[in-house]
Amino acid sequence: MKKTINIPLGSQHISLLEPVRFKFECENEKIVGVDSDVGFVHRGVEKACTTRFKYDAVGYVVARVCGLCAITHSLSYTVAIEQLLDVEVSKKAKYLRVLLLELDRIHSHMLCLSHTCESAGFEAMFMRIMGDRELIMEIQELLTGNRIQFDYISIGGVNRDISLETAKKIVNSLDIVKQKVLGYIDEFTNNWSLSLKFKGIGALTLDEAYRFNAIGPLARASGLHIDVRNEIEYLPYKELGFKMQTHTDGDINARNIIRLNEILNSLEMCNNILAGVPEGEIVVKSKGKPSGESLVRFEAPRGELMYFVKGNATAMLDRVRIKTPTFSSIPAFSHIFMGENYADAPAILASFDPCLSCTAK
């Protein structure tokens, strides 16, 4: 007699924003086997980057790989091209790039936290965080003109300047956000019903994190010191006060705490940038066509993002390889599900903060 039952999750499910299908093999309540299908969103961006668009337009195309970390995608691609063209970007443009990168990280982490709460059945917290997230979205609209997909980064710099009044408004909003985030930290650490849903569930040990090459908040929650912001010198993260956040538990609660602490750190960095935006041009003109190979890594909200660009001295590129964070975390995801209760699966999945449109490109 067959003792296990197969329960599917997806491709369309209330707790999923995007189509992904997991097939759980369950023994009573316990998950003993996981099969995943992540290819629902495959569109063929990599091919289009080398056949349909010229190199100066690709930066706006790759932003459409993912709406949540669009800025990291366009930044990584642009930096790769700038390395091939030998363009030196002004310090002001670099600061503005970090500002947008960190604002994007804040709103993405807030979305993930609210979604984790919703999956655990805490609807009020979902509404609260989503409501406060609008403050960050307003800042982004103020800075770039659009809420999402803001095509802010161009080859050689950024597309819009920041005025003194905007900076003042942003600082005020960031202060409000900081107070709200401190409130969440209290809620996430002290709320008893949330601890029942989050503590000790979906744990990944440090050794497993090494073995499965986990990245982003997932790895840092297990105590693995990996953060690309610490491993690149291109952006001035050191002088802006970047601190790596790590935790040792590796469960859902640890991931939430990591995200909350990272929001606080990002807010601090944003404030540091706004306190002293350097003088200078925002765009430097570039000449020539890209040739050669370059490999660029950046820290997206979900982990490490890698771009490999190969040019051949014409307007069309030879190869654009996009390695997205969720793509390399899928083996770790599947491993974490083993031995957990099926009822916890949506909350565990939400705590990974998966981005399937990144994964499948």
Partner 1 sequence: MRKIKVALENIVDEIKDFYDYKLWHFLTINGVALEDNKLEVQWIFSKYEALDDVMVYYVECDYKDLIPSVVEIIPSAIISQREIIDMFGVKVEGSEKGLYLDEDSLQAPLSGCSI
Partner 2 sequence: MFSLNKYRKKSPWILHYNAGSCNGCDIEILACLSPKYDLERFGVINTGNPKQSDIFLVTGPVTFRSRERLIELYTQMPEPKVVVAVGSCTCTGGVFRDMYNVEDGIDIYIPVDVYIPGCAASPELIIDGVVQALDILEKKTKEMEIPFKLFKEATTKKGITSRRESALKIGENDEKN
Residues that bind partner 2 (CB under 8 A): 11-15, 17-19, 39-45, 47-48, 52, 60-61, 64-68, 70, 111, 127, 130-131, 133-134, 137, 146-149, 355, 357
Region of 306 (left: φ > 0; alpha: ψ -120 to 50; beta: rest) is beta
Pick the closer one to partner 2 by CB: 19 or 223.
19
The C-alpha atoms of residue 45 and residue 189 are separated, in whole angstroms, by 41
146 contact choice in partner 2, partner 1, none (CB below 5 to 8 Å, kind-dependent): partner 2
CB of 194 to partner 2, least distance (A): 19
Return the number of the residue (70 or 89) whose C-beta is nearest partner 2.
Answer: 70
Q: In terms of DSSP bridges, do strands 291-300 and 153-154 run parallel, antiparallel, or are they unpaired?
A: unpaired
d(CA 228, CA 69): 15
Amino acid at 135: L
46 vs 151 by CB, closer to partner 1? 46
Closer residue to partner 2 in complex, CB, 68/273: 68
Instruction: In angstroms, give the least distance from the CB of 278 to partner 2.
Output: 31
> 41 or 167, CB closer to partner 2?
41
The nearest distance, CB 338 to partner 1, in angstroms, is 13
Other C-beta atoms closer than 10 Å to the C-beta of 233 total: 7
Total count of residues recorded for the chain: 361
Nearer CB in complex with partner 2: 148/284? 148
E-assigned strands of the chain?
A: 5-9, 21-27, 30-37, 153-154, 157-158, 291-300, 303-312, 317-323
Chain residues binding partner 1 by CB under 8 A are: 38-39, 42, 44, 46-47, 210-213, 215, 224-226, 230-233, 293-295, 297, 304, 306, 308, 310, 318-319, 321, 323, 327-328, 330-332, 360
| CA 78 – CA 251 distance, rounded (Å) | 35
Taking the complex as a whole, how short is the minimal distance between the CB of residue 42 and partner 1, in angstroms? 4
User: CB 143 → partner 1: shortest distance, Å?
Assistant: 29
With CA atoms as reference, report the closest residue to 245 among 235, 234, 256: 256
What, of partner 2, partner 1, none, does residue 285 touch, CB below 5 to 8 Å by kind?
none
Beta strands 21-27; 30-37: pairing state = antiparallel
